Amino acid sequence: MHETPLHFKTITEISEEIASKQLSPVDVTSAMLERIEELDGRLKSYATVIAEQAMAAAQEAEREINTGTYRGPLHGIPIAVKDLCFTKGVRTMGAAKVLEDHVPEFDSTVITKLKAAGSILLGKLNLTEGAMGGYNPEFDIPKNPWNPNRWTGSSSSGSGVATAAGLCIGSLGSDTGGSIRFPSAACGVVGIKPTWGRVSRYGVLALAESMDHVGPMTRSVADAAIMLEVIAGADPNDPTSLPDPVPNMLEGIGRDLQGIRVGFDEHYATNDIDTELAGAVRAGVGILADQGAEIIEVQLPDVDEYVSAWPTLCSAGAVAAHAATYPSQRDAYGPWFRGWLDMGARVTGADYARADNLRAACTGHLRRVFEGIDVLVCPSMSAPPHIVTPELLYGPKEDRPTKFQRFTVPFDYNGAPTLSVPCGMNSEGLPLSIQFVGKHLTEPLLCQVGHAYESATPWHNLHPDV
């Protein structure tokens, strides 16, 4: 077998070599920066590369490790974060022209934790404007490394592209309506949307705070577990962060699935869904059964009715999040996000109340579905990445069919944790993705299930030829 190139190795693999001093954090970081220099002019995943700071941090990591101080599996690992996360002294723009000169004076909690773990920050990753559906024409659009004419998954697109193309070893994304899961699926990587509140949002630019989640995007389930364990935990600066202790996210890695009840609603998971994707998810259910899981038929409600409330909730939340610059600097926003904010500004209190009632009803239905199961399995999105056009990317804003967010929004509504894992390639050579959904605070169980699935399949070992 061919040796995996350094840039496509996992956190787990590289950390073992760094800990044993077979590999130098300086060499790894230098190699990643050279690859970014070589390829990102075409892939456009980075908004800002901080090469000098990254090399200084790598040198410090190497000094610490050589003198016997090893902080854990992220020590010396080059990572990158979505450009929503405040980074002291580094522009944090949220892909919004109105924030082009925004340089925070402090680090977000997730950056503080990643630095404390010894990771090396390579830079900040591109995204859609305001973390919604379209890009500001003034900013770069990341290109899907599998096919540059295909969708990169919207908001956390830079995170998906950089992770898939080997321009970082792991990354952070955020998810309000699907933006960890969509780019993970579109780019063929692993993504965890944690339980809402499991990860602090302090110092992270908001889209709609009651649904915003921050989580890792990586090339293996174990890597995602490692990153999540580092960034999770209570934070006095974020009163919505959960006080529950952070468990060992790797505690179930390597176990079989005996005794785990996996729910599957074939109608929900396959009706009006891309045929090849539906087949891959069905096959995935069979693989879970082979690993010892008990497959239980469940029945979800028609969630599309409830998903239809999401634009009201999210657009109104975005108006609140952008109060400092909208409507006072309305014309500085790009057509897509400007239209989104305009829509949110028209939402009345009664509109919001009706939408919130639908959210609550959806959450109640899901609570009943999970009474007899541990994990729900379904696709991460309804189709492989679609063809993109300038109109689709820049706006004006277009309405999407509710099935587009059928597998994402319900779990932003209720804040349940999800894990997206590659589950195949379609006939056009595009990645497919399966999603595992758990009860609140069951991320270690999701990682156990995802790792068991991953270990029985080859898809996580495939990388785009860039």
User: Mind listing the pLDDT tens digit for each residue in 183-228?
Assistant: 999 999 999 999 999 999 999 999 999 999 999 999 999 999 999 9
Decide: 365 and 339 in contact? Cβ < 8 Å: no
C-beta contacts of 299-302 below 8 A and 24+ residues apart? 299/265, 299/267, 299/268, 299/369, 300/265, 300/268, 300/365, 300/366, 300/369, 301/362, 301/365
Give catalytic status of residue 82 as yes or no.
yes
pLDDT confidence bin for 396, thresholds 50/70/90: confident
The pLDDT of residue 316 is: 98
Pairwise CA distance, residues 281 & 302, whole Å = 19
Ramachandran angles phi, psi of 54, nearest 5°: -65, -45
Pairwise CA distance, residues 137 & 22, whole Å = 45
The single residue of 44, 82, 143, 439 carrying the catalytic annotation is 82
The token duo for 371 is: 């009474």
Pairwise CA distance, residues 226 & 246, whole Å = 12
The pLDDT of residue 392 is: 81
**Lowest mean per-residue pLDDT among 83-97, 133-147, 163-177, 393-407:** 393-407
The token duo for 370 is: 């999970």
The token duo for 328 is: 């006072």
pLDDT confidence bin for 363, thresholds 50/70/90: very high
The pLDDT of residue 390 is: 85
Give catalytic status of residue 155 as yes or no.
yes
E strand or H helix that includes residue 170: strand 170-175
The pLDDT of residue 251 is: 96
One-character DSSP codes across 172-229: EEEESSSTTHHHHHHHT-EEEEPPTTSB--TTB--S-TTT-EEEEEESSHHHHHHHHH
CA distances from 365 to 300, 351, 355, 414 (A): 7, 22, 16, 10
pLDDT confidence bin for 391, thresholds 50/70/90: confident
The string of pLDDT tens digits covering residues 274-286 is: 999 999 999 999 9
Give catalytic status of residue 113 as yes or no.
no
The pLDDT of residue 126 is: 98
Decide: 419 and 181 in contact? Cβ < 8 Å: no
Query: Nearest to residue 10, comparing CAs of 58, 66, 74?
Result: 74
Average pLDDT over residues 413-423: 98
Name the CA dihedral angle for 76, 78, 81, 85, rounded to a multiple of 10 degrees.
30
Is the per-residue pLDDT at 303 higher than 80?
A: yes
Is the per-residue pLDDT at 298 higher than 90?
A: yes
Decide: 288 and 455 in contact? Cβ < 8 Å: no
pLDDT confidence bin for 352, thresholds 50/70/90: very high
The token duo for 175 is: 């998810």
Whole-number percent of the chain with pLDDT over 70? 100
The single residue of 159, 171, 179, 420 carrying the catalytic annotation is 179
Q: Look up the pTM and report it.
A: 0.98
The pLDDT of residue 398 is: 74
One-character DSSP codes across 340-351: HHHHHHT--HHH
Burial class (CB in 10 A: 0-12, 13-18, 19+), 140: middle
CATH number of 6-461: 3.90.1300.10
The single residue of 24, 108, 119, 155 carrying the catalytic annotation is 155
Q: What is the 3-state secondary structure (H, E, C) of 355-418?
A: HHHHHHHHHHHHHHHHHHCCEEEEECCCCCCCECCHHHHHCCCCCCCHHHHCCCHHHHHCCCCE
Is the per-residue pLDDT at 54 higher than 70?
A: yes
Three-state secondary structure call for residue 338? helix
pLDDT confidence bin for 3, thresholds 50/70/90: confident
